[in-house]
Amino acid sequence: MFLPILFVFSLLLSSTHASVLDFCVADYTAPDGPAGYSCKKPAKVTINDLVFSGLAIPGNTSNIIKAAVTPAFADKFPGVNGLGVSIARLDLAPGGVIPLHIHPGGSEVLIVIQGSICAGFITGATNTVYLKTLQKGDVMVFPQGLLHFQVNAGGSSALAFASFSSPSPGLQIVDFALFANDLPTELVVATTFLDAAQVKKLKAVLGGTN
């Protein structure tokens, strides 16, 4: 008789505990745990933690990819911490490209606001390509962890917003992983079957060494 009562009591306690915090605004001043940021004390949370301003400003596309991503992820937007969501702005100048990349931590939903964008992803199981030129108002999904890209498909600037199923979806760009670090050229050649000359050229462009 005694044990079940204790069990119910401890369940009650733990569910009470779980409902103490309605949300977990990131506290950048406290140490991070294995699960991420510490939670700011609710009494210290302000509206400014819950609002991110800046996505009205076009990103600077004067760069090699002629594109810019302005993220509002948990490291810059404390309010999304713990909520399983985040958002980013994408600007693509004419000829702009968001190169082949993955988000290890979350799926993406992209909505085109202006211009047209050729977007696609490649499945992990069969390397099937799903590809579409998106117009204003079109929305496309990019499943978590799959390789994908966006290319400006028109002659004018394109604008899109991407939302994610994680406050910290992460970003790994394939070309940067291959050519922007000190992985020796011979190993890049051996593991990609690209020509050494091409690898050295891309390392020079992207700041890689070796």
Chain contacts with ligand NAG (rule: CB under 6 A): 60, 62
Smaller CB separation from ligand NAG, 62 or 128: 62
Q: In whole angstroms, how close is the CB of 66 to ligand NAG at the nearest point? A: 11
Q: In whole angstroms, how close is the CB of 67 to ligand NAG at the nearest point? A: 12
Smaller CB separation from ligand NAG, 58 or 124: 58
> How many other C-beta atoms lie within 10 A of the C-beta of residue 22?
8
Q: In whole angstroms, how close is the CB of 63 to ligand NAG at the nearest point? A: 6
Smaller CB separation from ligand NAG, 61 or 133: 61
The answer to whether 17 is annotated as binding is no
Measure the CA–CA gap between 113 and 166, rounded to whole angstroms: 22
The answer to whether 108 is annotated as binding is yes
Comparing every residue's Cβ against ligand NAG, the nearest one is 60
Smaller CB separation from ligand NAG, 53 or 62: 62
Smaller CB separation from ligand NAG, 61 or 114: 61
Q: How do beta strands 117-122 and 147-152 pair?
A: antiparallel
Q: In whole angstroms, how close is the CB of 62 to ligand NAG at the nearest point? A: 4
Measure the CA–CA gap between 63 and 66, rounded to whole angstroms: 5
The answer to whether 186 is annotated as binding is no
Measure the CA–CA gap between 123 and 121, rounded to whole angstroms: 7
Measure the CA–CA gap between 72 and 59, rounded to whole angstroms: 13
Measure the CA–CA gap between 67 and 153, rounded to whole angstroms: 13
Query: Which amino acid is it at 2?
Result: F
Of the candidates 138, 155, 179, the one whose C-alpha atom is nearest the C-alpha of residue 92 is 155
Centroid of chain to Cα 10: 39
Q: In whole angstroms, how close is the CB of 55 to ligand NAG at the nearest point? A: 16
> How many other C-beta atoms lie within 10 A of the C-beta of residue 172?
13
Q: How do beta strands 147-152 and 97-102 pair?
A: antiparallel
- Binding positions are 101, 103, 108, 148
Binding residues for Mn(2+), as ranges, are 101, 103, 108, 148
